[in-house]
Copies of this chain bind each other. A is one copy, B any other.
Amino acid sequence: MWQQYLQEIITGNIKTLARAISLVENEIAGHEELLKLLPPSNTPLIGITGPPGAGKSTLVDALIEAIVREGGKVGIVCVDPSSPFNLGALLGDRIRMSSWYTHPSVFIRSLATRGAMGGLHPQIMQITDLMKGAAFDYVIVETVGVGQSEIEIAGLADITTVVVVPEAGDDIQSMKAGLMEIADLFVVNKSDRPGAEAFAANLRKMLSPAFRVRNAEVPVLLASASGRTGISELLNEIKSLLSAGVSNPRRYWLLADKAWHLIQQQRMKNVGKDHLQEQIKMQSSDAGFNLYRFIADYYPT
């Protein structure tokens, strides 16, 4: 069964891919078997992140257009922060991108972030691994750059693109340091705004080697996603960074973190706090109850 799933995914069956992602997302029994079968993939993963309102979705929309125009196929994962405050804007974004939902060369999946720690999504690595196994030329992950998700996107993506807007020419100092540190590539979006050039110039000055994790210059491009200027230049820059060879020092950290959590999940599968509480309630009516003996007896190593 999993072998057949895999074959269908590899050969570009979008329906099977969508079903497989749902299996992983809902942790359906056996989904690990499918993940274990995935062959190594060279499909590049492009991360698009940045502060709210930077125009990330419009930029992704424009990138899809550029990739499709040159005959490419692309898979997109949008990770919505669950915050109710962003809902309106996000729905707008989704509607903006929705013209691609039925295009045969484009696959879009939206994920809600879950869990209090503010990461991207508990199964983001598994889901992007599945997508990298499918017949795409690029996989794009789009997310708002906040907290823990910044570290995750930087570990996950081969190229992390940070999208910013020229709100104020000298406002770069206040840009979140986290975003400076993860960028392989900056896009100054809404480049038709006054001060965009100056903003980009300041940004280039700020990107001193001290900020660089990787040993390469961080390009700063100007673009207008809605006006469709600078988009093919962006795609070319991404290609040139990819062909220059990608080494991602944060990748190992993320893999180790992911592995730790998967192992923990496996080993703690049969240990639920509610069930523990019931067990302890029953056992401790016995006057001789000892928590440490209880653990040794009921949950031996």
Contacting pair B268 A253 (CB below 8 A): no
User: In chain B, what residue has the closest Cβ to A38?
Assistant: B290
How many A residues are at the interface, by size bracket?
Answer: 35 or more
The digit string for A274-293, where 1 denotes a CB below 8 A from any CB of B, is 10110011001001111111
Contacting pair A259 B276 (CB below 8 A): yes
Q: Is A87 an interface residue (CB 8 A)?
A: no
Chain A residues 243 to 301 lying within 8 A of chain B, measured CB to CB, are 252-253, 255-260, 262-264, 266-269, 271, 273-274, 276-277, 280-281, 284, 287-296, 299, 301
Contacting pair B252 A40 (CB below 8 A): no
Q: Is A207 an interface residue (CB 8 A)?
A: no
Contacting pair B32 A263 (CB below 8 A): no
Contacts of A276 in B (CB 8 A): 255-256, 259-260
A263 partner, pick from B125, B262, B271, beta carbons under 8 A:
B271
- Separation of A197 and B121 alpha carbons in the complex (Å): 53
Please judge, given known A-B contacts A252-B280, A266-B301, whether A259 and B294 are in contact too, CB under 8 Å: yes
Contacts of A260 in B (CB 8 A): 268, 271, 273, 276
Contacting pair A264 B268 (CB below 8 A): yes
Q: Is A36 an interface residue (CB 8 A)?
A: yes
Contacting pair B257 A291 (CB below 8 A): no
User: What 3 A-B pairs come out closest when comparing CB atoms?
Assistant: A256-B277, A35-B292, A256-B276
Contacting pair A256 B268 (CB below 8 A): no
Q: Smallest distance from the beta carbon of A38 to chain B beta carbons, Å?
A: 6
Known: A35-B292, A40-B287, A255-B276. 14 other contacts (CB 8 A): A32-B296, A36-B290, A36-B292, A38-B292, A40-B288, A126-B292, A257-B273, A258-B291, A260-B268, A262-B292, A263-B268, A263-B295, A264-B271, A267-B268
Chain A residues 224 to 247 lying within 8 A of chain B, measured CB to CB, are none
Q: Smallest distance from the beta carbon of A96 to chain B beta carbons, Å?
A: 34
A253 partner, pick from B40, B252, B257, B277, beta carbons under 8 A:
B277
A-B contact pairs, 6 of them (CB 8 A): A38-B292, A40-B288, A40-B290, A264-B267, A266-B295, A267-B301
Chain A residues 26 to 69 lying within 8 A of chain B, measured CB to CB, are 32, 35-36, 38-40
Q: Smallest distance from the beta carbon of A295 to chain B beta carbons, Å?
A: 5
Contacts of A267 in B (CB 8 A): 264, 267-268, 301
A280 partner, pick from B255, B269, B290, beta carbons under 8 A:
B255
